[in-house]
Amino acid sequence: MAQGRFISYLRVSTDRQGRSGLGMEAQRKAVADYLNGGSWQLIEEVIEIESGGKNDRPQLQAAIERCRAYGAKLVVAKIDRLTRDAGFLLSLRDARIDFVAADLPDANRLTVGIMALVAEQEREAISQRTKAALAAAKARGVQLGAYRDGQFVGRVGTREDVQRATQARMRKADAIAQDRHMALLDADPDGTAPYAAIARRFNEWGVPTPSGRGSWTAAAVSRLKARLTLI
């Protein structure tokens, strides 16, 4: 049974289909049948009139952004409503959202499984390269430990290491802020709402916090707005 929050994406290929509703009601019914039962919330339905052969579809991008903002899953009636291009399906990995097709619900798990295998292989390759680089540095006489209680423990981070780590944290924080931007616009469309009111709305809507834990506060909303002005 379906669980959680969803954004549905319906697509037809022609203006005529869009005006007449041909195919749209069938897709809507398929999504409703998939969601039937369980504990779920359909936040929004997004409709696009565009060929499946095109990847630059603004309404699909809007649906993805709303999934990010509300921590929701994208649901479509048929897998070809997303695209006929397998490469584009894989690019949803980079969108940092989950998706499911009502006609083939297991496809999502299969896709994620394939990605996980590839990612695991890459992690192992990176680990091997890192170990080889550290061994080479040690052979050159580079001290790889932190001085503690008269002994060197672990690896000493260089200034470049610290800079890279800081930049990585900043990029992650920027990405999370961008994901919440849509929800912020919904909660404060004219930019005048008090931070406490926005935090209250975020908590009522179930918008995930930057850490994924706890509740929104006025201070957290202030930091979100500040970060968005810097991106």
Q: What are the boundaries of each domain within the chain?
A: 3-110, 156-231
Between 223 and 159, the more confident residue is: 223
Predicted local confidence at residue 25, as pLDDT? 87
The CATH fold of domain 3-110: Rossmann fold (3.40.50)
Instruction: Decide: helix, strand or coil at residue 29.
Output: helix
Tokens describing residue 125: 């390759």
Inform me whether the pLDDT recorded for 140 exceeds 80: no
Positive or negative torsion for Cα 170, 171, 176, 181? positive
Between 88 and 161, the more confident residue is: 161
The alpha carbon torsion through 82, 85, 89, 95 (nearest 10 deg) reads: -80
Of 13, 39, 51, 127, the catalytic one is 13
Predicted local confidence at residue 229, as pLDDT? 79
The pTM of the full predicted model, rounded to 2 decimals, is 0.56
Inform me whether the pLDDT recorded for 63 exceeds 80: yes
Between 189 and 96, the more confident residue is: 189
13 has catalytic annotation = yes
Predicted local confidence at residue 164, as pLDDT? 79
When mean pLDDT is compared across 32-41, 45-54, 59-68, 104-113, the lowest value belongs to 104-113
Between 55 and 199, the more confident residue is: 199
Q: Dihedrals φ, ψ of 171, to 5°? A: -65, -40
Q: How far apart are CA 211 and CA 42, in angstroms?
A: 24
Tokens describing residue 113: 């499984």
Inform me whether the pLDDT recorded for 87 exceeds 70: no
Predicted local confidence at residue 186, as pLDDT? 92
Inform me whether the pLDDT recorded for 60 exceeds 60: yes
Inform me whether the pLDDT recorded for 110 exceeds 70: no
Res. 132 pLDDT band, cuts 50 70 90 = confident
Predicted local confidence at residue 112, as pLDDT? 45
Predicted local confidence at residue 209, as pLDDT? 92
Between 194 and 53, the more confident residue is: 194
When mean pLDDT is compared across 5-14, 77-86, 130-139, 143-152, the lowest value belongs to 143-152
Inform me whether the pLDDT recorded for 219 exceeds 90: yes
